[in-house]
Amino acid sequence: MNENNNYVAIMAGGIGSRFWPVSRVNYPKQFIDLLGTGRSLIQWTYHRFKNIVPQENIYFITNQSYIETLKSQIPEVNDENIISEPSRKNTSPCAAYFAHKIMAKNPDANIIMSPADHLIMDERAFEKTAKDALKFVSEHDALLTLGIKPSRPDTGYGYIQYDTEDEVNKVYKVKTFTEKPSLELARTFLKSGDFLWNSGIFVWNVKTIMSALAKYQPELNEVFLQATDVYNTPTEHDVIGALYAHCTNISIDYGIMEKAKNVYVIPSYFGWSDLGTWESAYDNSEKDYLGNAVFGKNVMVIDASECMIKAPDNKLLVVQGLENFVVVDTQDVLLICERTREQQIKEYVAEVKRNKGDKYL
């Protein structure tokens, strides 16, 4: 396998509303050091992929309003490696745009599509898995995803059922996808042993994904075919800007993966979390002897246990008597909610918008 044929598209256009009030529309979670590591999530993601593909083959797909923030956090990235989405249209248009752009540049390309805001604890294991995945798709007509062995019956993740008998070099044929099941169903999945969490990291050869787009998303594919002559030219931005409004708002999972017959998965073990909620941040944080995850130099915890607490370093925050709460203080918003209810933060954000407008978003 020629490593120069390997590319990464880091999807960095989301707003991370479940991490409100720290994650805001104008400065979302991928640009934030949520766990106090000294790097933002997007900086970690970039650093991780530099060991997997040539640096010049790493692209970012983000919203126009985040480009300057991206450049400030990763100053070595070239302008041509930053792809500006005219609007948020979910992950299928994102994948289709990148496939068409890279096909015009290198028709032998192998592509990893990765979110910008995931946590990977074992980077060496991830590097090996990613390289194995790239090799597999370079040799097979396969749409591949990385699946995570579930550790609990989580209802916030999508699940992949795979055929434990249909295996080639530890790559397995996918049988079914299930989006965010009920708790009872998630428990059944966990017990069965043949279900994985869907990491949202996808790997394919450019010809394979182009064929899938033509078959399963022909209207979306047609949008980007109209720009065939302008990819990787100075007029690309303006042409795509005009065409993007015609894209269907649909995820890769629904648009391609759940329909295709050549879908495969690698069961993976590299300490993954999608860091989608404050609960996942709590799970991946160091805790004090009472189980509190505390971020902030001036936080005082008194008779409180199993709380997720975050405050600016210049503010004194005193938390007393709480158990199993999320407490997040910012310059203009204080959030206090039960950890068992934190999946509803998106609803709270919508309520804030209805009552207070966009000021606190």
Q: Please state, in angstroms and rounded to a whole number, the distance separating the CA atoms of residues 169 and 149.
A: 18
Q: Considering its fold, how many domains does the chain have in total?
A: 2
Structural domain of 34: 3-148+196-263
Last residue of one domain, picked from the residues 240, 263, 286 = 263
Identify the CATH number of the domain in which residue 91 sits. Answer: 3.90.550.10
Where helices occur in 29-88 by DSSP H, the ranges are: 41-49, 67-73
Where helices occur in the chain by DSSP H, the ranges are: 41-49, 67-73, 91-105, 123-139, 183-192, 206-216, 218-225, 236-243, 252, 278-283, 345-356
Last residue of one domain, picked from the residues 236, 263, 290 = 263
For the entire predicted model, the pTM comes to 0.93
Whether 52 and 9 have beta carbons less than 8 Å apart is answered as no
pLDDT tens for the chain, 361 residues long, are 788 999 999 999 888 888 999 999 999 999 999 888 899 999 999 999 999 999 999 999 999 899 999 999 999 999 999 999 888 888 999 999 999 999 999 999 999 999 999 999 999 999 999 999 999 999 999 999 999 998 888 888 889 999 988 878 899 999 989 888 888 898 998 888 899 999 999 999 999 999 999 999 999 999 999 999 999 999 999 999 999 989 989 999 999 999 999 999 999 999 998 888 898 899 999 999 999 999 999 999 999 999 999 999 999 999 999 999 999 999 999 999 999 887 789 899 999 999 999 999 9
Q: Are residues 282 and 255 in the same domain?
A: no
Is 154 part of any domain?
no
Q: Please state, in angstroms and rounded to a whole number, the distance separating the CA atoms of residues 320 and 162.
A: 47
Q: Please state, in angstroms and rounded to a whole number, the distance separating the CA atoms of residues 278 and 326.
A: 7
Q: Please state, in angstroms and rounded to a whole number, the distance separating the CA atoms of residues 196 and 150.
A: 6
Q: Are residues 238 and 302 in the same domain?
A: no
Is 227 part of any domain?
yes
